């Protein structure tokens, strides 16, 4: 079973977030025990600033996180969902990378470990969401 990871959960662990670090680390370990962990381009770009230069590959290897590039199909889906979002809200409160992560997760894993604030559930029907529990 594959589980895609959202940046928020990884950053909780990398930055030792005082509220979420323990819960996110436990959720990462649980997801890893069930199968492989994957990330795409957006997650790599979002977590890279929290790591020292050259540490990304080591971090991914230490956690057995596989980099799985996205696809044209994912990018198109993300754009369609973002258009729907903009149509509903009339202004951009969520950023496009969140939609790219959602589409990547749906197509390449079917599951996403994230601290969801509703938009993944709302826009990516069929995506199984796993949230860290405090």
Domain residues for 21? 2-130
Domain count, the chain: 1
Residue 79 has a pLDDT of: 94
Residue 91 has a pLDDT of: 67
Say which CATH number the domain at 11 has.
Answer: 3.40.50.1010
Name the nearest CA neighbour of 10 among 93, 67, 71. Answer: 67
Residue 121 has a pLDDT of: 87
User: How far apart are alpha carbons 87 and 66 in whole angstroms?
Assistant: 34
- State the pTM of this model: 0.92
Which segments of the chain have a pLDDT < 70?
90-94
Do residues 70 and 41 lie in contact, with contact meaning Cβ atoms separated by under 8 Å?
A: yes
Do residues 124 and 81 lie in contact, with contact meaning Cβ atoms separated by under 8 Å?
A: yes
């Amino acid at each position: 079973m594959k589980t895609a990871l959202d940046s928020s959960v990884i950053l909780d662990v990398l930055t030792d977030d005082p509220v979420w670090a323990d819960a996110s680390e436990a959720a990462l370990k649980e997801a890893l025990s069930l199968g492989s962990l994957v990330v795409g381009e957006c997650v790599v770009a979002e977590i890279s600033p929290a790591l020292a230069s050259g540490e990304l590959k080591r971090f991914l290897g230490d956690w057995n996180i596989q980099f799985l590039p996205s696809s044209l199909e994912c990018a198109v889906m993300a754009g369609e969902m973002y258009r729907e979002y903009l149509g509903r809200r009339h202004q951009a409160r969520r950023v496009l990378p969140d939609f790219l992560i959602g589409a990547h997760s749906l197509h390449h894993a079917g599951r996403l470990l994230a601290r969801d604030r509703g938009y993944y559930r709302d826009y990516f029907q069929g995506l199984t969401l796993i949230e860290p529990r405090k």
